[in-house]
Amino acid sequence: MPLKVAIVGLGGIGNRHAQVYDKHDETEIVAVCDIIPEKADKAAEKYACKAFYSVKEMLDSNIAIDAASMCTAGAENGGDHCKPTLELLYGGIPVLGEKPISNNIDEAQTMVDLAREKNLRYGIDLNHRFTPAALRAKEWVDSGRLGELNIINMTMWINNPNESSPWFHIRALHPHSLDVMRYFAGDVDKVQAFFKRGPKPDGPGGKRVCWSNVQVNLLFKNGIIGHLTGSYDAGGSYGLETLEVVGSEARFVLRDACEHLEFYPRFSQEVETHAYIDGMMGFGETFDSRIGRWVEQNIAGVSPDEIDASGADALHVQQIIEGIIESWETGQVVTLQ
């Protein structure tokens, strides 16, 4: 029996989820839902399923849904997620949400709490860590191949001239980078941050509204020290992200989430290089691998606390982000709760 899925929010990313489910052997798209009827109708035609114009209407129809993708956006790309997510969870439906889980910590906490109360699977599309290269690197770390981890550095930058709010860049982009850092280095204890506004993208002179460049120092609970460089004023044709993890025996560098993985032993010159492990060629394919894992875990019926990149994980990264903002606003090192 295929997993019956619904998609809520049919913008570019909702349609990206739909394409993944459409070609997946073990899923069937049964419903699409968007408050803009034309968007829902167009997707319903394309994926041969029913269209709905609100989550309430979809739930009231009693159509059988095993899991839903929640792909709304809103302020700082996360302001619209809460209400429809709560509706789905109240309706007893497991949810794979988009990132950021929310731009508002209280709303993120409410969704995580409800999923827990209802014992429902709640995952977030923190897709950057769902690559064969990241998995290989994680195996190296877990098997002790790097020795004791000392340092983790992450750079993530893209060109994004959108100017919706001062905190758009850190809240909307860096759930990804901080999730990858947490995946390798664990929970964060303290943060200290500096921001810089880039020049206005569209005008002569003046500064952006958005704090579009950031440097963050992080101290992890296990003593690892880390650094994040982020920007919406950089990027260009090559180089979305670079992750470097340095241990007492070796270090690795992972470039562009899945493309190049290099292993540098500390005491020898025998560098190992891997490219496009398991044929994953680019970032776009991380939607397939992340959503594929969500489908696999739902079909296997795993317990909600076993979900990879869960709502609780996504809430943790938003808490780190709020600590980063507080550090800049107060000029202090901020200890996270």
Ligand X SMILES: NC(=O)c1ccc[n+]([C@@H]2O[C@H](COP(=O)([O-])OP(=O)(O)OC[C@H]3O[C@@H](n4cnc5c(N)ncnc54)[C@H](O)[C@@H]3O)[C@@H](O)[C@H]2O)c1
Query: Which region, judged by CB under 6 A, interacts with ligand X, from 67-75, 113-121, 140-148, 303-311?
Result: 67-75
Interface of this chain with ligand X, residues 252 to 311, rule: CB under 6 A: none
- Name the helix (H) or strand (E) containing 292: helix 286-299
Task: Provide the token pair at 93.
Answer: 């439906």
Interface of this chain with ligand X, residues 129 to 188, rule: CB under 6 A: 172
Q: Which of 3, 6, 14, 68 binds ligand X (CB under 6 A)?
A: 14
Task: Give the residue from 104, 99, 107, 105 showing the smallest Cα distance to 125.
Answer: 99
Q: Which residue is nearest to ligand X (CB)?
A: 11
For residues 70 and 85, the answer to whether their CB atoms sit within 8 Å is yes
Q: Which of 10, 29, 89, 257 binds ligand X (CB under 6 A)?
A: 10
Q: What three-state secondary structure class fits 273? A: strand
Give me the 72-111 binding string for ligand X, x by CB under 6 A, dash otherwise.
Answer: xx---xx-x--xx-------------xx------------
Which are the contacts of 64, defined by CB distance < 8 A and separation ≥ 6? Answer: 4, 30
Residue 91 CA to residue 60 CA, distance in Å, equals 9
Residue 9 near ligand X by CB under 6 A: yes
Count CB-CB contacts under 10 A for residue 282: 12
Q: How far is the CB of 26 from ligand X (least distance, A)?
A: 21
Q: How far is the CB of 91 from ligand X (least distance, A)?
A: 13
Residue 35 near ligand X by CB under 6 A: yes
Residue 235 CA to residue 206 CA, distance in Å, equals 21
Residue ranges that bind ligand X, judged by CB under 6 A: 8-14, 33-36, 39, 55, 71-73, 77-78, 80, 83-84, 98-99, 125, 127, 172
